[in-house]
């Protein structure tokens, strides 16, 4: 590519509103331009990096058995109503009307679209498992778009969705995506960690985030210095110390609460205010700590039970299995159902939830006038010591370190949340109708570019890792008016391109100082400068990363580049 007519508007000054290095450098080196707050255009260099990352993602997704599709960015609002998310998603969801006054949304994510697609076109177990993915623009009206393409309102995501017939199948699909993500971020030459995460608004019970380690990251990660253990500190209750206390039985008024399914319905029915939700409870059963991760509604049909201090035994359990483990009846299990004879260590949220009401361990019944201290042995979150830097790791290997991370990828086990809501069913071997079991898997493609720049730069500019660099080589003619330099540069441009190197050729009539500054700023892995020694066939090669410079005769150039 000849730079004279190439759109790379470099800037000498640091743009005033760019707070972090990657944003500054991507603007200064001419990779992106802001079109509106949180909305960016990708100039040719930016687009080439985007394509490199997309190619890595495609190759790993395809090897993992993914099938690429392209779903619409505009989605009918009814789909989101059907899944129950239209209200829940809030102002982050961009909404619009068509000329017939019909409601639409701009896709913030695609569970609804993909689930209905598969519902309508996959009918039998013979077609499953299936993994469908796309690379596409997403829209989220972020409250605070910032840091350039790191948190924007329009961005490119790779999203994949798996459909299975069993929990074991889902576990396999999840594992294969987890491995694909390891491969993808390794190929992007990022320093990253996969961490246990909180399932948040999307639902589901088992999830990991892929975090690029960086001080500008918005998440805090606790990880072991000598094993794979790593978790987002959002799920801090994992780290509580073992606390044992006596048990007191419940003696409370029971009220009938027929057909109440969600906390919203419950609070409306009982005319109380609380809408808090609990994300996790630590039960102590037979003196063994068991962590139960639950969602704050009654629609949960999978609950994760595990020994809080032994990651290796982590597994998903159905309500029946959970009840068996906890030694109590089913029907009560939910965030506000607490079995008799079980000590609960709760986070702050339980105080507001049990302020007056909790589950009665019986279908369609709740207990009123609950007082946490009187009726349960509740150890408050505040009393528990969260894990600290230097603590032994929960898996017994090494000690805990803290780091900040940028979330570039996220994998979830969704279960049947969307397939149930949207009726995605199939016929099993016995001709019986069953609900599909889903997983979903996202990568912020444009955010990944910014994360790479955060980890790969110096005072002079970006230092692209070879696998994602917009070009392999920067060929720079120091003086384009010099006949020998011009001729040798043209020859090299042709032969190197024929050798399948991607070459950015600076043929601009600019001063050498300007060209070298721009070259460092753009940050291609190798610079080849054609200058005074052109008549002898000698060029100067500079390795961007190390700053190493060497004079090379063109006859040895290709060997040196290998
Ligand atoms: P965050 O916690 O940063 O808001 P998220 O958890 O809301 O991200 P997911 O719903 O998990 O995001 O989406 C999958 C991936 O999409 C994220 O891991 C991230 O890499 C990317 N992503 C999410 N929001 C944005 C955004 N506003 N700008 C750029 N990339 C984003
Ligand atoms: Mg978000
Ligand atoms: Mg997140
Ligand atoms: Mg996420």
Ligand 1 atom 11, closest CA: 410
10 Å CB burial of residue 279 (0-12, 13-18, 19+) is: middle
- Residue whose Cα lies nearest atom 31 of ligand 1: it is 444
Strand extents, DSSP E, 183-296? 192-196, 206-213, 219-224, 230-232, 253-256, 280-285, 288-293
Residue nearest to atom 18 of ligand 1 (CA): 409
Helix axes 44-63, 167-187, angle to 10 degrees: 140
Structure-model confidence comparison of residues 281 and 486, the more confident one = 486
Residue ranges lining ligand 1, Cβ < 6 Å = 140, 142, 151-152, 155, 157, 407-410, 442, 444, 446-447
Q: Concatenate the DSSP letters of all residues of 463-485 into one string.
A: ---TTT-S-SEEEEES-TTSHHH
- Could you give the CA distance from residue 81 to residue 99 in angstroms, rounded to a whole number? 20
- Take residue 78 and report the two structure tokens written for it: 């009814």
546-558: b (≥16 Cβ within 10 Å) or e: eeeeeebebeebe
Say how many Å lie between the CA of residue 487 and the centre of ligand 1. Answer: 49
Neighbours of 59 (CB within 10 A): 14
- Find the 192 Cα to ligand 3 centroid distance in Å: 15
Distance CA 490, CA 467 (A): 26
Q: How many residues are given for the chain? A: 562
Least confident span in 23-32, 104-113, 156-165, 347-356: 347-356
Distance from the CA of 50 to the center of ligand 3, in angstroms? 22
Q: What's the predicted TM-score (pTM) here?
A: 0.79
Q: Which residue has the higher pLDDT, 307 or 49?
A: 49
Q: Whose CA is nearest to atom 24 of ligand 1?
A: 151
Instruction: Give the Cα separation of 405 and 300 in Å (integer).
Output: 29
**Distance between Cα 288 and ligand 4 center (Å):** 31
Mean pLDDT of 251-277: 59
Proximal ligand: closest to the CA of 139: 1
What the block records as the tokens of 16 is 């005033």
Instruction: Please state the rounded mean pLDDT for residues 296-311.
Output: 33
Percent over 90 (pLDDT), the chain: 64
Ligand nearest to the CA of 153: 1
What is the CA(197)–ligand 4 centre distance, in A? 8
Does the pLDDT at position 213 exceed 80? yes
The DSSP 8-state label assigned to residue 240 in this structure reads P
The residue nearest atom 2 of ligand 1, judged by CA position, is: 407
pLDDT tens sequence across 331-378: 333 333 343 334 444 444 444 444 545 555 455 666 666 554 555 444
The pLDDT of residue 30 is 98
Q: What's the CA gap between 199 and 203, in Å, rounded?
A: 6
Cβ atoms within 10 Å of 516's Cβ, excluding its own: 19
CB 277 within 8 A of CB 300: no
Give dist(CA 400, CA 404) in Å, integer: 13
> CA of 410: how far to CAs of 157, 316, 559, in Å?
11, 19, 41
Q: Tokens for 283, please give them.
A: 């039960």
Q: Please write the tens of the pLDDT for every residue from 512-537.
A: 999 999 999 999 999 999 999 999 99
Q: For residue 46, how far is its CA from the centre of ligand 1 (angstroms)?
A: 19
Q: Mean pLDDT over residues 40-64, rounded?
A: 98
Q: Is the ipTM of this complex over 0.90?
A: yes
Say how far apart CA 296 and CA 262 lie, in whole Å.
8
pLDDT value at residue 90: 87
Name the closest-CA residue to atom 13, ligand 1. Answer: 442
Q: At 214, list the tokens.
A: 């960086």
Helix (H) or strand (E) holding 130: strand 130-139
The more confidently predicted of residues 157 and 203 is 157
Cα–Cα separations (whole angstroms), residue 511 to 13, 29, 301, 341, 461: 18, 18, 68, 81, 19
The answer to whether the CB of 470 falls within 8 A of the CB of 544 is: no
Task: Decide which of 96 and 295 is more confident.
Answer: 96
Check residue 371 and give its pLDDT: 54
pLDDT above 70: residue 188: yes
pLDDT at residue number 392: 78
Centroid of ligand 3 to alpha carbon of 197 (angstroms): 9
How many whole angstroms from 40 Cα to the centroid of ligand 4?
21
Nearest CA to ligand 1 atom 4: 151
Three-state SS for 169?
A: helix
Measured distance CA(470)–CA(53) in Å, rounded: 10
The arithmetic mean of pLDDT across residues 21-48, rounded, is 98
CA–CA dist 336, 114 (Å, integer): 32
Q: What is the pLDDT of residue 389?
A: 82
**Average pLDDT in the 275-294 region?**
42
Query: Are 404 and 212 contacting, i.e. CB atoms less than 8 angstroms apart?
Result: no
Determine the average pLDDT of the residues in 120-147. Answer: 97
Distance CA 12, CA 302 (A): 55
Q: What are phi and psi of 147, to 5 degrees?
A: 60, 35
Which of the listed residues 91, 94, 157 should we mutate to test ligand 1's pocket, taking the one with most ligand atoms within 8 A of CB?
Answer: 157
Q: 279 pLDDT exceeds 50?
A: no
pLDDT, position 206:
82
- Which atom in ligand 1 lies closest to the alpha carbon of residue 209? 18
Ligand 1, residue 412: give the atom nearest the CA: 11
Question: Residue 150 C-alpha to ligand 1 middle, in angstroms?
Answer: 9
Q: What DSSP assignment string belongs to 325-392? A: HHTS-SS--BTTB--TT-EEEE-THHHHHTTTEEE-SSTTEEEES--HHHHS-EEEGGGSPPP-TTSB
Q: What DSSP string runs through 525-544?
A: SEEEEE-GGGGGTEEEEEET
Query: Nearest ligand to the C-alpha of residue 447?
Result: 1
Count other C-beta atoms under 10 Å from residue 323's C-beta.
19
Whether a cis peptide bond, with omega within 30° of 0, leads into 528 is: no
pLDDT tens figures, 373-431: 555 444 444 444 456 788 877 777 899 899 999 999 999 999 999 999 999 999 999 99
The number of beta carbons lying within 10 Å of the beta carbon of residue 256 is 11
Ligand nearest to the Cα of 110, by number: 1
CA distance 253 to 519: 75
Whose Cα sits closest to atom 22 in ligand 1? 444
Ligand closest to CA 108: 1
pLDDT band at 449; cut points 50, 70, 90 = very high
428 exposure class (CB count in 10 Å sphere: 0-12, 13-18, 19+): middle
Give 84-122 pLDDT, tens digit per residue: 999 888 899 999 999 999 999 999 999 999 999 999 999
Tell which atom from ligand 1 comes closest to the C-alpha of 442.
14
- Centroid of ligand 2 to alpha carbon of 171 (angstroms): 25
CA of 239 to the centre of ligand 3 (A): 20
| pLDDT for position 461 | 98
How is residue 124 annotated by DSSP? B
Q: Give pLDDT, residue 140.
A: 98
Q: Residue 85: beta bridge partners? A: none
Query: Best of 85, 410, 449 to mutate for ligand 1, by most ligand atoms within 8 A of CB?
Result: 410
The residue nearest atom 27 of ligand 1, judged by CA position, is 151
For ligand 1, atom 14, name the residue with the nearest CA: 442
**218 CA from centroid of ligand 3 (Å):** 9
The per-residue pLDDT of the chain, averaged, comes to 81
* Mean pLDDT, range 204-227, rounded to an integer: 88
pLDDT at residue 250 tops 70? no
Q: Please, which residues have CB within 8 angstroms of residue 430's CB and are 6 or more apart in sequence?
A: none
Whole-number Å distance between alpha carbons of 107 and 138: 6
Burial (CB count <10 Å: 0-12, 13-18, 19+), residue 253 = exposed
Q: What pLDDT is recorded for position 393?
A: 78
Residues 136, 31: Cα–Cα separation, whole Å:
19
What tens digit of pLDDT does each residue of 58-73 get?
A: 999 999 999 999 999 9
Question: In terms of DSSP bridges, do strands 400-415 and 433-435 run parallel, antiparallel, or are they unpaired?
Answer: unpaired
For atom 1 of ligand 1, which residue has the closest CA?
A: 407
């Amino acid at each position: 590519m000849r730079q004279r007519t190439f759109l790379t508007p470099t800037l000498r000054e640091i743009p005033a509103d760019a707070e972090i290095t990657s944003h500054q450098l991507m603007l200064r080196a001419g990779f992106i331009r802001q079109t509106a707050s949180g909305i960016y255009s990708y100039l040719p260099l930016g687009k080439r990096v985007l394509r490199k990352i997309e190619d890595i993602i495609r190759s790993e997704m395809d090897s993992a058995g993914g099938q690429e599709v392209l779903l619409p960015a505009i989605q009918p609002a009814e789909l989101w109503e059907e899944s129950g998310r239209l209200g829940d998603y809030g102002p982050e969801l961009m909404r619009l009307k068509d000329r017939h006054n019909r409601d639409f949304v701009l896709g913030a994510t695609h569970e609804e679209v993909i689930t209905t697609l598969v519902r309508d076109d996959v009918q039998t177990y013979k077609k499953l498992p299936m993994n469908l993915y796309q690379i596409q623009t997403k829209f989220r009206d972020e409250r605070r778009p910032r840091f350039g393409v790191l948190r924007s309102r329009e961005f490119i995501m790779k999203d994949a969705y798996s459909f299975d017939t069993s929990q074991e199948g889902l576990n396999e699909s999840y594992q294969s995506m987890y491995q694909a993500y390891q491969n993808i971020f390794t190929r992007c030459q990022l320093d990253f960690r996969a961490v246990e995460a909180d399932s948040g608004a999307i639902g589901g019970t088992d999830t990991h985030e892929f975090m690029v380690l960086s001080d500008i990251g918005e998440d805090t990660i606790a990880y072991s210095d000598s094993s794979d253990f790593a978790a987002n500190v959002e799920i801090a209750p994992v780290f509580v110390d073992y606390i044992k206390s006596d048990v007191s039985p419940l003696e409370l008024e029971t009220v009938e609460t027929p057909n109440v399914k969600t906390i919203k319905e419950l609070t409306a029915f009982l005319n109380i205010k609380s809408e808090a939700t609990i994300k996790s409870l630590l039960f102590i059963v037979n003196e063994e700590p068991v962590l139960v991760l639950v969602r704050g509604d009654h629609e949960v049909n999978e609950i994760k039970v595990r020994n809080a201090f032994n990651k290796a035994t982590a597994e998903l359990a159905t309500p029946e299995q959970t009840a068996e483990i906890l030694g109590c009846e089913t029907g009560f299990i939910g965030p506000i159902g607490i079995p008799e004879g079980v000590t609960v260590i709760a986070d702050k949220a339980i105080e507001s939830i049990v302020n007056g009401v909790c589950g009665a361990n019986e279908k369609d019944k709740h207990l009123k006038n609950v007082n946490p201290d009187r009726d349960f042995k509740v150890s408050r979150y505040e009393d528990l010591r969260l894990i600290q830097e230097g603590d032994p790791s929960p898996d017994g290997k090494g000690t805990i370190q803290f780091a900040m991370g940028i979330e570039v990828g996220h994998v979830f086990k969704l279960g049947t949340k969307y397939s149930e809501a949207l009726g995605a069913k199939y016929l099993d071997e016995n001709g019986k109708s069953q609900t599909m079991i889903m997983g979903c898997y996202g990568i912020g493609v444009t955010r990944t570019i910014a994360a790479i720049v955060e980890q790969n730069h110096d005072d002079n500019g970006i230092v692209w890792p070879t696998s994602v660099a917009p070009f392999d080589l920067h060929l720079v003619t120091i003086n384009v008016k010099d006949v020998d330099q011009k001729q040798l540069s043209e020859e090299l441009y042709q032969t190197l391109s024929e050798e399948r190197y991607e070459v950015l050729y600076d043929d601009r009539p600019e001063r050498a100082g300007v060209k070298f500054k721009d070259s460092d700023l753009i940050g291609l892995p190798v610079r080849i400068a054609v200058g005074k020694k052109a008549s002898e066939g000698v060029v100067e090669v500079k390795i961007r990363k190390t700053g190493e410079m060497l004079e090379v005769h063109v006859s040895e150039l290709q060997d040196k580049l290998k």
